[in-house]
Structure 1
């Protein structure tokens, strides 16, 4: 069967890690058509993408030598790994190619320093270089291990709009270009090693896909190539029922539905972001999350089927703040909710949770703690007239709270779930500050004090015997 698999930064962060990757790809290639998507190297002392972005910003501030100063370190990182993984012939061919790419960016740094401006388009060139370097290194390692492999820049495959820094794929064009490039390679049993995170406009200008971009690359290619499954290789055995640092007895979930994945990702679990795998969800292609360093473990499979049982997992968002807008004059005050959320959106604050009593006398919303001050300022400005007339009495903020989410598609229509959650917290003396539940019943969310967050997760996890 055809499999698209993605290896993240930690999975390709060292020569030893890439050696694991090579074994996994070789084993998979015996049975399947394999397309590999890779991130940039994330060594403990040198995070490639972060280093390149910092150099680009330093150039904009006037240091035209910024990239030239870090280029030798980046070159050394990749060539040292190559020396452990690849044949002398492969290393000899790889070095000038990597040097040329780094030299190009060094020259670009000088131009940016002269202009004193770093455009989003130029920043995308810097941001995507790590993947291009690493794809060539890993392809060389695979060839040295006896596999036919070829590095492929996703600028040849993924056609995007011109929204630099967070581009969106044009799927029809991407389907045509990806199949034209990759399917002949697969027919010849060549393993394409594709750069994650990057694409290009119709005019061929490089772009990046934004947060989670390498996962997004994998999702896009899995969909357009009509893969039977898509595998995301990480450093965990799959999706866990809770954070094991908080709940040591947390276990790997063998299966999740797409809906459960989305709920858990939103609320802080180490799960794929819904945006990055949307093409796979739409195409109903199964997703597996597996461990690069424990490949014998089956991991977690994610597909469209709702799972039996009730709650499946407990996740948490830390460092949140709860803002309450309230007053008796809000009863029947037309449009006040729209004004509240509009004010918060205008300052770029991300609303994590919303709850409103049926009396309409208060609206609560949770936002990341770092965004709370700006949100409160915007709300007080928007509602200044209502505050002076006492239609709105207060805009208050609780600074340190945790949002707990209890997730499970099997909770839908099952009586007593909320009672078990609230009872579990009551038994250990934890006060619930706010509660929210969507009509899908896949998720019960509640807000507790930051000091109670870990205990709340443990109590709920134990109550449902997860």
Structure 2
């Protein structure tokens, strides 16, 4: 069996965490599986890299030296605590120092130019993963597991959308088979950097924040993996955010479509685009907890698994603004809908929901609050003449809102679900600003005041009895993954 195992920032964020990752990978390797690891940067490092680059562009002539020192200190201290062999320790610290030097020179060049391009930002942001892969590979080698760090800009080929690139899967597949497959066939465990790739011309690109999940699914696709395991700091996909709903439970299984809806509408346990490469080949994705490896976790696969409720989970996105374009009648304004979304697309803002009055007097949509002013300005420029003529009455923004999404494949064709959702909100005295339901009938989404989320999510969770959802795979027909406790020592 070939497994791709991805470990997030908290999973490699400390000495003890890296030791736990090493144990998990070593156990899987000794079990006889072929394993390819994908690692994120140590927690906080990517933010540190981006902040230093921004400071350099703003005129801080010490940003590059301060960054270099901070990177070396954190990774050197981790290597020193992890590695007992002096030669391996020396080689690992030398490798980390060389990477920090390269990164420092890039940040210095940003200061000299006084400009931080998206291309330069992606290149700088990639160094956290590069250093983490070196650390994890060194720890594995010390544990007797032959491992090698592999930089993903040699394998994952993408388009040139810096900051949010998309993979060219056929070319990536060729690269994976020429670079990774020979390593696996020699009994090596490749430790691949997550989060970034490169264009055909070799320019480093990133896959969006949280993109290491996506990297793992891309490599799973490229290697024809049997499974992709996403190791994080929670037990799996939950019925709600436990900070809002303490009685929230772990779901044993959900479908690719359900997982995509949850990820898109705010569930941070997995990157929204992770499902697509895996789904195209039917590769199961497991969400597992690095710090509780005996928990079965959540399986994401082609089919949904009934859990006794038509609803699987509830999630929320705070910090939302609703932009509304209003007029006496859009019939007199040519191509108004196309013009609205062409203008929005040029800003790069993501639209989460769209709603239009049947009378065609208004068109509204939801965006992130920090992008609202930019979107509003773009629409004002686009419709300047229509506003002057009175064909468009106004373009307005309502802020401090949130989107709540109720997700579950069981809602499809089941009458009364929306009624129960909105009746629950009505009984709680929560006002609804806007409503949308996807054509797939997998989710019902609505906009409410941000401060009402803490009441709305628990109320809906209770209304659908999600606290009683089983948190194990027993009775679902799912085969549990083999975890560390199931592996005999020394095997």
**TM-score of Structure 1 vs Structure 2, range by shorter chain:** over 0.9
Change in Cα spacing, 1:56 to 1:358, as seen in structure 2 (3 Å) is: closer
Say if 2:232 and 2:269, in contact at 8 Å, map to a contact too.
Answer: no
Choose from 135, 138, 149 the match for 1:137: 135
Normalised by the size of structure 2, how large is the TM-score?
0.88
Q: For residues 122 and 433 of structure 1, what CA distance do their matches in structure 2 show?
A: 40
Aligned residues: 462
Say if 2:92 and 2:134, in contact at 8 Å, map to a contact too.
Answer: yes
Say if 2:313 and 2:406, in contact at 8 Å, map to a contact too.
Answer: yes
Shift of 1:26: 1.5
Normalised by the size of structure 1, how large is the TM-score?
0.92
Q: For residues 140 and 398 of structure 2, what CA distance do their matches in structure 1 show?
A: 53
Which runs of no fewer than 5 residues in structure 1 stay unpaired?
none
Say if 1:327 and 1:394, in contact at 8 Å, map to a contact too.
Answer: yes
Say if 1:331 and 1:359, in contact at 8 Å, map to a contact too.
Answer: no
Deviations 1:390-413 (A, max 9, x none): 443333332222211111111011
Q: Does 1:382 align with 2:382?
A: yes
Q: For residues 452 and 161 of structure 1, what CA distance do their matches in structure 2 show?
A: 40
Residue 89 of structure 2 corresponds to which residue in structure 1? 91
SS at match of 2:244: coil
Q: Which structure 2 residues correspond to residues 8-407 of structure 1 after superposition, within 5 A? A: 8-31=8-31, 32-42=33-43, 47-63=44-60, 65-88=62-85, 89-308=87-306, 309-330=309-330, 333-407=333-407
Q: For residues 288 and 21 of structure 1, what CA distance do their matches in structure 2 show?
A: 16
Say if 1:329 and 1:390, in contact at 8 Å, map to a contact too.
Answer: no
Deviations 1:30-75 (A, max 9, x none): 3321110011112xxxx22222333334444455553233323221
Q: For residues 375 and 112 of structure 2, what CA distance do their matches in structure 1 show?
A: 38
RMSD: 2.2
Q: For residues 288 and 464 of structure 2, what CA distance do their matches in structure 1 show?
A: 25
SS at match of 1:37: strand
Change in Cα spacing, 1:441 to 1:77, as seen in structure 2 (3 Å) is: same
Say if 1:65 and 1:109, in contact at 8 Å, map to a contact too.
Answer: no
Q: For residues 60 and 392 of structure 2, what CA distance do their matches in structure 1 show?
A: 51
Shift of 1:228: 0.6
Say if 1:404 and 1:446, in contact at 8 Å, map to a contact too.
Answer: yes
Q: For residues 159 and 376 of structure 1, what CA distance do their matches in structure 2 show?
A: 35
Deviations 1:158-212 (A, max 9, x none): 2334444443333222212212222222223221111112323444444433333
Q: For residues 268 and 30 of structure 2, what CA distance do their matches in structure 1 show?
A: 30
SS at match of 1:159: coil
Shift of 1:388: 4.4
Which runs of no fewer than 5 residues in structure 2 stay unpaired?
467-491
Q: For residues 378 and 163 of structure 1, what CA distance do their matches in structure 2 show?
A: 21
Q: For residues 40 and 460 of structure 2, what CA distance do their matches in structure 1 show?
A: 36
**Larger displacement relative to structure 2 (289-298 or 102-111):** 102-111
Say if 2:39 and 2:193, in contact at 8 Å, map to a contact too.
Answer: yes
